[in-house]
Amino acid sequence: MSGFRIAGVGAALPDKILTNNDLKEFMDTSDEWIKERTGISERRVGSSTLELATNAALQAIERSHLEASQIENIVLATTTPEQLCPGTAPAVANNLGIQCGAFDVQAACAGWVYGLMVANGLLLQGAKNVLLIGAEALDKITDFTDRGTGILFGNGGAATILEASEDATGKILAWDLDSNGALGSILYADHGSNFHMEGREVFKKAVTVIESSVNKVLREADVKPADIKLVVPHQANIRIIELAWRKLGFTMDQTATVLERTGNTSAASIPIALEEAVTEGRVEPGDLVLFVGFGAGMTWASALIEWDAP
């Protein structure tokens, strides 16, 4: 292949909205505190990882020129697979009525960017297309009576179809995948338990790794912050984004954010924000688009792409 196009994007959110005021029934908090400290007003709960992944995939396929039967691979980034085993991607394929290469990627909130690099690798090996999904049912592992975590997380899914083509100009210009397992204890969920998080530690580390990872990618691609049309960061906390942006020199006008309405949807957050930006017409072929994710592990990842679409 000489490049890839984003042949279609889709997203799916559960119907049930849980507002900050709704949370006051379960914990001692306030709408003002949550908005000021996180930028989140509401999140979605209910549905399931499989249902959200399937619905997002169906929308992405419908908006593309492809039939489901033409999908060759499904890569699903998730922290909350439908079952511990098997992965959820084969079940998504089954729901689409197809059989194809299908597997999950688990890199927490950085999972979609890890998945993007895996998808690019498949295309470079000759695959015609990859359906890349991020989907989460985080309400399965969130204690909504815990003030530290219950205010943050929500459910959602989004799908992106990458299609290889001889005349496509889309490509990965620079990337960075990284982790530090010594920080595993600041954010984790054990089998059968809810999230445990040291919020302040995660916050501080997140700002640090975003800055270093993005700087590395910009340096490698020899690109300045102002050259980038759209930055799609993991949607965890608006203050994390604002602080990192101050250090990096990005503006909020360049940024895709949905967290006010979705909360933190982990591996689904970047593709959900991307889907909205694409449907609003914020990116055109030739534009530079930067993704940066970070989360449990700790894992973090950045990828700078040149955008191409049919």
> Which residues sit at the interface with ligand UT7, rule CB under 6 A?
29, 33, 37-38, 109, 147-148, 151, 187, 199-200, 202-203, 206, 236-237, 240, 264, 295
Which tokens in the block code for residue 256?
Answer: 């895709």
Neighbours of 115 (CB within 10 A): 29
Cβ 149 vs Cβ 284: under 8 Å? no
Q: Which is nearer to ligand UT7, 153 or 307 (CB)?
A: 153
Angstrom distances, CA of residue 185 to CA of 33, 94, 189: 26, 36, 9
Active site residue 191: no
Q: Which is nearer to ligand UT7, 4 or 144 (CB)?
A: 144
Q: How far is the CB of 149 from ligand UT7 (least distance, A)?
A: 7
Q: How far is the CB of 76 from ligand UT7 (least distance, A)?
A: 18
Q: How far is the CB of 41 from ligand UT7 (least distance, A)?
A: 14
Q: Which is nearer to ligand UT7, 46 or 199 (CB)?
A: 199
Catalytic residue among 20, 194, 234, 237: 234
- Cα–Cα dist 231/216, whole Å: 15
Active site residue 264: yes
Q: Which is nearer to ligand UT7, 64 or 194 (CB)?
A: 194
Q: How far is the CB of 103 from ligand UT7 (least distance, A)?
A: 23
Cβ 175 vs Cβ 305: under 8 Å? no
Which one, of 89, 76, 81, lies nearest residue 134 by Cα? 76
Active site residue 196: no
Catalytic residue among 55, 100, 109, 194: 109
- Cα–Cα dist 299/306, whole Å: 24
Give the residue nearest to ligand UT7 (CB).
199
- Cα–Cα dist 137/139, whole Å: 5
Catalytic residue among 20, 120, 155, 264: 264
Q: How far is the CB of 257 from ligand UT7 (least distance, A)?
A: 14
- Cα–Cα dist 23/226, whole Å: 39
* DSSP 8-state class, residue 271: H
Q: Which is nearer to ligand UT7, 109 or 289 (CB)?
A: 109
Which letter, b or e, does each residue of 216-242 get, where b requires 16 or more Cβ atoms within 10 Å of its Cβ? ebbeebebebeebebbbbbbbbbebbe
Which tokens in the block code for residue 29?
Answer: 């908090």
Q: Which residues are known catalytic residues?
A: 109, 234, 264
